[in-house]
A and B are shown apart, each in its own frame.
Chain A
Amino acid sequence: MDDERYLDKSLTAFLDAIAARERAPGGGSAAALTVACAAGLVAMVARSSRDVWKDAPGVAAQALTLQDRASALMHWDAEAWEQALDALRAAADPTPLDVERNGPRRDFALEQKLERAAAIPLEIAEIGADTANLAAQTGEHGDLAYRADACVAAALAAGGARAAAHLVEVNLGMRIGDERLARARASQTAAAEAAETMHAAIR
């Protein structure tokens, strides 16, 4: 897919790009889109619950903010991942001159790109957790007629958070004990618990 932001593309074009034999967009962008859809559903339920829930307008505003953040990350995740892959490829096959002249600097640049490739899915995971939390509250206090949509939102947000946490783990490689990995897993767990609570309530 070209440099145009994914948000400026049609959904069809984005889905074609996801399926194309290209490096990006990939899992991170798909996770971000999933969380953005979940946040959109929460906004829809909250907006439809103004008559029965006084916090509904404020919850809708928060959901729209989470949707904006998640959708922006569709693009940034793909870009960060492409840059990390390029850096990894260059590091795996350096020219002798490159090693001599730029060794330490190149390692630092590679490190920076891998860090960014992990930081973005971490953000997606945290937005997913917040969205699942908001979905659960919306399902509990919002208009009952929309509870199924809130439940879907919680499930999608939890799925997106889990997917993103997995990418954080992969992108951070072997760094067991990294604080960001713990944060990603905490977000995954919080999102899963919120979704499960929501599902249990309507069973």
Chain B
Amino acid sequence: MRQSGDTLLVSRLSTLADAELVGRCRAGDAEAWNELVERFSRYVYAVTVRGFRLRAEDAEDVFQEVFARVYTHLHTLRDDDALRPWIGQLTRRLCIDSLARSGREQPGEPEAEEGRDRTAEIDEAMAVRDAMTALPEACQEILDRFFARDQSYRTISSELELPAGTIASRIARCLGKLREELEGRTEPPTASSE
């Protein structure tokens, strides 16, 4: 079966590293911008709604503002590998401003502080999610079934047609690979004047 040109383009862009994506965006590639929004929209949404528990309309405003600022200030990003932390920092700042504007909290007060803590958890979850994509498919599958879908060893064994006694050790080895993947990723510095 042949893939359409659009499908090939999207799948090619989705494999680009953040830094390469930034380069294409700076060069004015509209498809790259779509990919950037697609790649980070879930993250921004999670920080606004789960991290800072903004009301739906406030979350929508922050969401729009984050990507508007990314668009206008991308040239200020000093380290292209630091795209995610930059977007995270921008989102947090705009969430705190939104809380202050709505009168729910002043920056530095409990809701903003809790938001920062929850955002750290979201960052960690996103890092794990990214690292998962670098694992072999079999590992992604078995880790997803056990940790995300809460499946028992018996169910995993039966659905993947694997010996029941080997499931726990397979999961353990895949976790080892995930750990190596996470440890191999260096923490990029935050780098922007924005």
Residues of B close to A54: CB separation below 8 A: 176
In the complex, the chain A residue whose C-beta lies closest to that of B175 is A58
- Which of the residues B147, B173, B179 comes within 8 Å of A55, measured between beta carbons? B173
Contact A57 B179 (CB under 8 A): yes
Given contacts A65-B146, A65-B147, are A58 and B154 in contact (CB under 8 A)? no
Given contacts A57-B179, A58-B176, A65-B147, are A130 and B169 in contact (CB under 8 A)? no
Given contacts A127-B152, A130-B153, are A137 and B168 in contact (CB under 8 A)? yes
In the complex, the chain A residue whose C-beta lies closest to that of B172 is A58
Report the minimum CB–CB distance from A191 to chain B (whole Å): 11
Residues of B close to A127: CB separation below 8 A: 152
Q: How many residue pairs bridge A and B at CB < 8 Å?
A: 50
Contact B169 A55 (CB under 8 A): yes
Contact B146 A187 (CB under 8 A): no
Contact A57 B152 (CB under 8 A): no
Residues of A close to B176: CB separation below 8 A: 54-55, 57-58
- Which of the residues B154, B172, B174 comes within 8 Å of A59, measured between beta carbons? B172
Contact B175 A61 (CB under 8 A): yes
Contact A62 B171 (CB under 8 A): yes
Residues of B close to A129: CB separation below 8 A: 152-154
Instruction: Let me know if A118 is at the binding interface, CB within 8 A.
Output: no
Residues of B close to A130: CB separation below 8 A: 152-154, 168
Contact A59 B168 (CB under 8 A): yes
Instruction: Let me know if B150 is at the binding interface, CB within 8 A.
Output: yes
Task: Tell me how many residues of A have a C-beta within 8 Å of chain B.
Answer: 20
Residues of A close to B172: CB separation below 8 A: 55-59, 61-62
Contact B154 A126 (CB under 8 A): yes
Given contacts A57-B175, A57-B176, are A133 and B153 in contact (CB under 8 A)? yes
Task: Tell me how many residues of B have a C-beta within 8 Å of chain A.
Answer: 17
Contact B168 A133 (CB under 8 A): yes
Instruction: Let me know if A134 is at the binding interface, CB within 8 A.
Output: yes
Instruction: Let me know if A186 is at the binding interface, CB within 8 A.
Output: yes
Report the minimum CB–CB distance from A55 to chain B (whole Å): 4
Mark out the residues of chain B between 68 and 109 whose CB falls within 8 Å of any chain A CB in the assembled complex.
Answer: none
In the complex, the chain B residue whose C-beta lies closest to that of A127 is B152
Mark out the residues of chain B between 18 and 51 whose CB falls within 8 Å of any chain A CB in the assembled complex.
Answer: none
Contact A137 B152 (CB under 8 A): no
Given contacts A55-B169, A58-B171, A59-B172, are A186 and B154 in contact (CB under 8 A)? yes
Alpha-carbon distance A56/B171, docked complex (angstroms): 11
Alpha-carbon distance A42/B175, docked complex (angstroms): 17
Alpha-carbon distance A129/B154, docked complex (angstroms): 9
Alpha-carbon distance A55/B171, docked complex (angstroms): 9
Instruction: Let me know if A69 is at the binding interface, CB within 8 A.
Output: yes
What 7 A-B pairs come out closest when comparing CB atoms? A58-B172, A55-B172, A58-B175, A126-B152, A130-B153, A59-B172, A55-B169
A residues contacting B by CB (< 8 A) are 54-59, 61-62, 65, 69, 126-127, 129-130, 133-134, 137, 186-187, 190
B residues contacting A by CB (< 8 A) are 146-147, 150, 152-154, 164-165, 168-169, 171-176, 179
Subset of 28 A-B contacts with CB under 8 Å:
A55-B172, A55-B173, A57-B172, A57-B179, A58-B173, A58-B176, A59-B169, A59-B172, A61-B172, A61-B175, A62-B168, A62-B171, A62-B172, A65-B146, A69-B150, A126-B152, A126-B154, A129-B154, A130-B152, A130-B153, A130-B154, A130-B168, A133-B153, A133-B165, A133-B168, A137-B168, A186-B154, A190-B154
